Amino acid sequence: MKRLLIPTLCVLALAACTSKQNKNGDAAKNIETESVAGDVGTESAVSGESSQNAGNKPVFLLGNKDGSKFLLKASSEVTADNAPDYLKNYKYILFEGKYYDVDFKGLQEGDKDADTGRDTPYNYDNCRGWYFEMHSGKLLTNPQSEYDVFWGTPLLVDEKFKNETKLLDVKNFDVDDAPVDVSKEKAKFEKQYGKKAIKFKLDATFGDYNYYVMQFETIENKVLGVIAIVKSDGTTVTKDFPSEWNEFSTWREGDEGEFYGYDILFATIENGNLNIYTYNGGEEGASYQSYVVQGDTLAEGGVSNYFYFAAE
């Protein structure tokens, strides 16, 4: 199976409105994520009060149908009168490698009686939270049908992030369209792990880096998925995802025992370090996680969100 079985409505919309974002979704079943969809308090959306030296933490947002409004969900305790000042310091969204100006508008009350709990464009107006609006225009300009709505998830950032972060040009590849022969890299990793790779693909390139996704043979019901970043000089960083093999759900629900990897949404250089912002889609929803290269380690980068869109 080349991808997870997302609800039919989601498949149609995602195929129309995002490019690589719904490709081969996967996320570790036990990964702990900070859920924008799950009543995130506004304090958890930032690393601290903004100042000249400390910026707001980036956060992924839920979008409305045409990609003109975006929501950071808030608890029922907050009111329009106690909006934190730092929310006004978020000035941009980053989507598909481009920045767009947004304005903080305040609190959207939503409709708790109509709210389905799903983080979809169709439920956007029913959700409660702090909302931002495109300064001009909208991300989806030519909808063709009721299914063709905006399913992208932009990253909300501040001036400091925009000014001090270098964006790398990300090129994603499907299974059969990688531009180079990966056989030597595959052999290198098989030697490193001492196992046969039953899946090995060049998933993306950005800057001087190649990004690989691989799955090794199952031994005594133990299975291993790996993501790897290889620099042009041969420097390699990996992150392992060991699991117990299950024919239905190994790394996440409905993956049928296949490791799909983590799609690269953005790759950046921040404070001299390489960061990747990843997407993992499955039957129940989508996870978003940033990672940062620190020496020979690929560590979690502090941006982590989950959007729930299971069929009702």
| DSSP for 86-114, written as a single string | GGGGEEEEEETTEEEEEEEEEEE---TTT
Same domain for 190 and 66? no
Q: Which residues pair with 160 in a beta bridge?
A: none
Question: Looking at 164, 185, 203, which one is the last position of a domain?
Answer: 164
Residue 10 contacts by C-beta under 8 Å, 6 or more apart in sequence?
22, 120, 151, 309
Are residues 49 and 160 located together in one domain of the fold? yes
When pLDDT is averaged across residues 164-174 and rounded to a whole number, the result is: 93
Q: In the structure encoding, which two tokens stand for residue 266, read together?
A: 């953005």
CA distance 45 to 51: 16
The pLDDT value given to residue 54: 57
Which residues contact residue 234 at a Cβ distance below 8 angstroms, ignoring those fewer than 6 apart? Answer: none
Q: Is residue 122 part of a domain?
A: yes
For residue 141, being part of any structural domain is answered with yes
Q: What angle do CA 312, 18, 264 make, to 5 degrees?
A: 105
- Contact status, residue 251 vs residue 266, Cβ threshold 8 Å: no
pTM metric for this prediction: 0.82
Ranking 75-89, 128-142, 154-168 by mean pLDDT, the lowest is 75-89
Q: Is the pLDDT reported for residue 30 higher than 90?
A: no
How does the average pLDDT of the chain come out, rounded? Answer: 83
The structure tokens listed for 202 are 């060049």
Strand partners, 222: 219, 244
Q: Does residue 207 share a domain with residue 131?
A: no
**Considering 164, 182, 201, which residue would you say is the last residue of a domain?**
164
User: How far apart (Å, rounded) are the C-alpha atoms in residues 15 and 61?
Assistant: 19
210, 302: one domain: yes
Q: How far apart are CA 216 and CA 194, in angstroms?
A: 9
Boundary (domain end) residue, out of 113, 138, 164: 164
pLDDT tier at 173, thresholds 50, 70, 90: confident
Verify that 12 and 141 share a domain, yes or no: yes
Domain that holds residue 254: 170-308
pLDDT for 131: 96
Domain total in the chain: 2
